[in-house]
Amino acid sequence: MKKDLLGIADLSGEEIYRILDTADAMREIGERPIKKVPTLRGKTIVNLFYEPSTRTRTSFEIAEKRLSADTLNIAVASSSVQKGETLADTAMNLEAMAPDMIVLRHACSGACHLLARICRSRIINAGDGMHEHPTQALLDAFTIRQHKQRLAGLKIAIVGDLLHSRVLRSNVLLLTKLGAEVCVCGPPTLVPPGIERLGVRVSIAVDEAVAGADVIMMLRIQQERMRGAFVPSLREYFHVFGMTAERVKRAKPDVIIMHPGPMNRGVEIASDVADGPYSVILEQVANGVAVRMAVLYLLAGGVEEGSHAEAAA
């Protein structure tokens, strides 16, 4: 792998499969009575989150601890960022203490690329603005493969706030790279201009988008990134685009329902769908640990291709 993981755009299909296969080996560590291997002993990893996170931050920390790395969580709210220190200065000061990797979440698209240019440490993108969230797309692909045994040829409908979603961008890049047939669906005000150039079909009719789908991936309405009215009201949004049990019936009988979280219940997804028999939402969360272990391990050097079992020894 390259020095940093900045986005799915930088990964080849072969590298993506390598991460997924390594995550398969990592998953078993989480099922052991003692969930720890010495693989990253002596490595220091800084988790630097400028935006709130429950799943990503926690699963990176668990992944780091399972691999025996020394982990450090920077609480931005109580750091010198509050005194006006820039991202670059913060990173250079952390670098002075010689970490091996920095896991960064930031509200600005491109923040991880900036750090990758100026830092010796390996940078992992844990979500940058509206740009990419590569480990989310990797854990989504891992979860889909677990259920469908393949990605190529699957019909995948991604529904919701497409405009503000870094999860959308990373998933579209990954799924089209691996040969899935992707349809994206949302209100016209929330469809990024030119998205079809990434090789997806665009629909503004949810019933049509989910017809015959193997996978339905719901995206959150990101009110915190909206400046202005993109939808008339949340109640109307749910009526037109919300995933209901009735709409799920249009998909394949073995459809899986995904959501990266956090969910707005009753806005983009009905509670009986989120908690229902087709939902794999909590499996996505569980798989996040194994996938992030795989990313950390491979970035730290990994081993020769074909010997992933060594990582879990």
Sites of contact with ligand CP (CB under 6 A): 53-56, 127, 136, 260-262
Nearer to ligand CP, 25 or 168 (CB): 168
User: Which lies closer to ligand CP via its Cβ, residue 13 or residue 262?
Assistant: 262
Residues ≥6 apart with Cβ < 8 Å to 161:
186, 190, 219, 220, 221, 222, 230, 268
Task: Find the shortest distance in angstroms from Cβ 49 to ligand CP.
Answer: 8
- Longest CA–CA separation in the chain, Å: 56
Q: In angstroms, what is the minimal distance from the CB of 215 to ligand CP? A: 17
Nearer to ligand CP, 125 or 136 (CB): 136
Q: Which is nearer to ligand CP, 75 or 309 (CB)?
A: 75
How near is the Cβ of 270 to ligand CP at its closest, in Å? 20
Strands 70-75 and 44-49: parallel
Q: How far is the CB of 262 from ligand CP (least distance, A)?
A: 6
Asked if residues 143 and 257 have their Cβ atoms less than 8 Å apart, the reply is no
Report in angstroms the alpha-carbon separations of 96 from 5, 80, 90, 106.
21, 16, 10, 21
Task: Pick the closer one to ligand CP by CB: 134 or 302.
Answer: 134
- Residue 264 Cβ vs ligand CP, minimum distance, rounded to whole Å: 13
Report the first-to-last Cα separation within the chain, whole angstroms: 21
